[in-house]
Amino acid sequence: MHINELRAMSVDALQGKMQQLLLDLSIEKRKIAATGVQSKKVKVREMKRTRAQILTILKEKGVKA
């Protein structure tokens, strides 16, 4: 997701996106651990980056995450 799309979202939508992202991230990490497939690491890196961007935007909006 692009940063401009995230900035346009409401606080509730960002928090919902964060919860979904954390769930997806834990599932992907388990898949990597179980199968050892390295191709999923790019997806995990992108999820971590999006999570950090959401946290930054929430801080900018004055919301504790």
Q: What is the pLDDT of residue 65?
A: 61
Quick check: is 65 in a domain? no
Quick check: is 17 in a domain? yes
Quick check: is 64 in a domain? no
41-64: pLDDT as tens digits: 888 899 999 999 999 999 999 887
- Rounded CA separation 28/37 (Å): 11
Quick check: is 32 in a domain? yes
Per the structure, how many domains does the chain have? 1
Residue type, position 43, single letter = K
- Rounded CA separation 56/40 (Å): 25
14-26: pLDDT as tens digits: 999 999 999 999 9
Domain range for 21 is 3-59
Token pair belonging to 20: 């979904």
- Rounded CA separation 60/42 (Å): 27
